Amino acid sequence: MGGLLIILSIILIFVVLVQIGRINEIAVGLRGKEQAQRQANNRNAVMGLVFMVAFLIFVIVSFFAFKDRMLGFGPHESASHHGGLIDGIFLTTLIITGIVFFITHILLFWYSYKYRGQKGRVAKYIPHDNRLELIWMVVPAIVMTFLVIGGLSVWNESMADVPDDMKHGLNEGEFLEIEATGFQFGWLLRYPGATDFKLGTRDFRNIKAGYNETGQVWTDEKNHDDFLADTLYLPKDHKIRIRIIGRDVLHNFYLPHFRVKMDAVPGMPTYFVFTPTKTTEEYRESLSGYPEWQAMADPSDPENKFKKWETFEYELACAELCGDGHFSMQKIVRVVEMDEFKKWYNSKKSFYSTEVNPPKETEVLSRETSLEEGHGGEEGTHTGEGHGEGSHNVEGHSTEESHSGDHTNGTHTSGGTTTHTEGTHTEETHSGGTHNAGKADGKEGTNAGKATTTEEGENKGKKGKIIKKIFNKGKKEKTGDH
Partner 1 sequence: MANVDIHAHEEVHAHDHHEDHDHHGDKYQSNFITTYIFSQDHKMIAKQFLITGIFWAFIGAAMSIVFRLQLGFPEESMAWLKPILGKWIVLNDAGMGTLDPEFYYALVTMHGTILVFFVLTAGLSGTFSNLLIPLQIGARDMASPFLNMLSYWFFFLAGAIMFSSLFLSTGPFAGGWTAYPPLSALPQAMSGSGAGMTLFGVSLIFFVVSVLLGGMNYITTVLNLRTKGMTMWRMPLTIWAFLVTAILGLLSFPVLVSGILLLIFDRSMGTSFYLSEIFIQGSALDRVGGSPILFQHLFWFLGHPEVYIIIVPAFGLVSEVMSVHARKPIFGYKAMVYSILAIAFLSFIVWAHHMFMAGVNPFISNIFVLFTLIIAVPSAVKVFNWIGTLYGANIRFNTAMLFSIGFVSMFISGGLTGIFLGNSAIDIPLHDTYFVVAHFHIVMGIAAFFGMFCGIYHWFPLMFARYMNETLGKIHFWGTLIGAYAIFWPMHYIGMAGVPRRYYTFANFEAFNTFAPINMFISTAAIIVFGLQILFIINFFYSIFKGKVRTEKNPYGANTLEWTAPVHAGHGNWPGAIPHVHRWAYDYGKDGIEFIPQTVPLKEGEKDMGAH
Our measurement of the distance from residue 99's CA atom to the centroid of its chain's CA atoms, rounded to an integer in Å, reads 33
Other beta carbons within 10 Å of 28 = 15
Q: Smallest gap, in angstroms, from Cβ of residue 193 to partner 1? A: 23
Among 61, 137, 371, 455, binds partner 1 (CB under 8 A): 137
Which residue stretch of 170-178, 325-333, 401-409, 461-469 sits at the interface with partner 1 (rule: CB under 8 A)?
A: 325-333
Cα–Cα dist 366/371, whole Å: 9
Which residue stretch of 57-65, 230-238, 339-347, 461-469 sits at the interface with partner 1 (rule: CB under 8 A)?
A: 57-65
Q: Does residue 63 belong to the site contacting partner 1 (CB under 8 A)?
A: yes
Q: Which of 434, 446, 470, 462 shows the shortest CA–CA distance to 191?
A: 434
Q: What is the DSSP pairing of strand 232-235 with strand 331-336?
A: parallel
Contact 430, 375 (CB under 8 A): yes
Which residue, 81 or 326, has its beta carbon nearer to partner 1? 326
Cα–Cα dist 261/242, whole Å: 11
Q: Does residue 1 belong to the site contacting partner 1 (CB under 8 A)?
A: no
Give, to the nearest 10 degrees, the angle between helix 130-158 and helix 81-114.
160
Cα–Cα dist 196/193, whole Å: 6
Among 31, 95, 140, 304, binds partner 1 (CB under 8 A): 140
Q: Does residue 270 belong to the site contacting partner 1 (CB under 8 A)?
A: yes
Q: Does residue 306 belong to the site contacting partner 1 (CB under 8 A)?
A: no
- For residues 281-300, which are near partner 1 according to CB under 8 A? none
Which residue, 205 or 412, has its beta carbon nearer to partner 1? 205
Cα–Cα dist 69/67, whole Å: 5
DSSP state of 3: H
Rounded to 5°, angle at Cα 280 from 195 and 314: 90
Which residue, 94 or 162, has its beta carbon nearer to partner 1? 94
* First and final C-alpha spacing in the chain: 52
Q: Smallest gap, in angstroms, from Cβ of residue 359 to partner 1? A: 30
- How many residues lie near partner 1 (CB under 8 A)? 121
Q: Does residue 147 belong to the site contacting partner 1 (CB under 8 A)?
A: yes
Which residue stretch of 64-72, 279-287, 358-366, 439-447 sits at the interface with partner 1 (rule: CB under 8 A)?
A: 64-72
Amino acid at 120: G
- For residues 148-207, which are near partner 1 according to CB under 8 A? 148, 151-152, 154-156, 158-159, 183-184, 204-205, 207
Q: Does residue 60 belong to the site contacting partner 1 (CB under 8 A)?
A: no
- For residues 9-48, which are near partner 1 according to CB under 8 A? 10, 14, 17-18, 20-22, 24-25, 28, 37, 40-41, 43-45, 47-48
Q: Smallest gap, in angstroms, from Cβ of residue 40 to partner 1? A: 5
Q: Smallest gap, in angstroms, from Cβ of residue 8 to partner 1? A: 15
Q: Does residue 388 belong to the site contacting partner 1 (CB under 8 A)?
A: no
Cα–Cα dist 110/261, whole Å: 42
Q: Smallest gap, in angstroms, from Cβ of residue 221 to partner 1? A: 22
- For residues 366-385, which are near partner 1 according to CB under 8 A? none
Which residue, 103 or 371, has its beta carbon nearer to partner 1? 103
Phi-psi group of 197: left, alpha or beta (phi > 0 → left; psi -120 to 50 → alpha; rest → beta): left
Q: Which of 262, 284, 280 shows the shortest CA–CA distance to 271?
A: 262
Q: How many CA atoms lie within 13 A of 137 on its CB side?
A: 6
Q: Smallest gap, in angstroms, from Cβ of residue 181 to partner 1? A: 10
Q: Does residue 121 belong to the site contacting partner 1 (CB under 8 A)?
A: yes
